[in-house]
Amino acid sequence: MDVIKITFDDINSKWKKCKEDLKANLSSLQYEMYIESLTLVDITGDTAHFTVPYDFCINTLETKLYNDIKDVLVKNTEHHFTLAFHVEGEYKPANINNISSVAEKGKVISVENEFKSNLNPKYTFDSFIIGNSNRMAYAAAVAISDSPGNAYNPLFIYGNSGLGKTHLMHAIGNQILKNDPTKKVLYVTSEVFTTEFIDAIANKKNNEFRNKYRKIDVLLIDDIQFISRMERTQEEFFYTFCSLYEDKKQIVISCDSPLNKIEILEDRLRTRFGWGLIVDIQVPDFETKVAILNRKASENSIDVDNEILDYIANYTSDNIRELEGVINHLSMSLMQGKEITLNLAKEALKHYQKSDIHEIDASIIIDSVSRYFNMSVEDILSKKRTKELVFPRQISMFLCRDLTNMSYPDIGKAFNNRDHTTVMYACEQISKQINTNPELKHIMEELKRNIIV
Query: Mind giving me the DSSP string for 301-366?
Result: T----HHHHHHHHHHS-S-HHHHHHHHHHHHHHHHTT----HHHHHHHHTTSS---PPPP-HHHHH
Q: Is the pTM of this model over 0.85?
A: no
Supply the pLDDT for residue 176: 93
Residue 209, Cα to own-chain centre: how many angstroms? Answer: 32
Per residue of the chain (453 residues), give pLDDT as tens: 344 455 545 666 788 889 988 988 888 778 887 898 888 888 776 778 888 877 778 878 888 898 899 889 888 887 777 888 888 877 776 543 433 333 333 344 444 435 788 898 888 998 898 988 899 999 999 999 999 988 799 999 998 888 889 999 999 999 999 898 889 999 999 889 999 999 889 988 888 899 899 889 999 999 888 887 788 888 889 899 999 999 999 999 999 888 877 776 778 888 888 888 999 998 888 888 888 888 888 877 888 888 888 888 877 777 787 788 888 888 888 877 788 888 788 777 776 654 454 567 898 899 889 988 989 999 899 988 888 899 999 999 999 988 887 889 999 999 999 999 999 999 999 988 888 888 888 888 888 877 866
Q: How many CB atoms lie within 10 A of CB 353?
A: 11
Distance CA 194, CA 198 (A): 6
Output phi, psi for 261, to 5 deg. -105, -5
Q: CA–CA separation, 24 vs 179, rounded Å?
A: 41
> What pLDDT is recorded for position 10?
65
* Spatial CA neighbour of 311 closest among 354, 275, 274: 354
Q: What does the alpha-carbon distance between residue 176 and residue 336 come to, in Å, rounded to a whole number? A: 40
| Cβ partners under 8 Å of residue 157, min gap 6 | 137, 140, 141, 165, 168, 169, 252, 253, 254, 255, 279, 280, 281
Q: Is 369 helix (H, G, I), strand (E, B) or coil?
A: helix
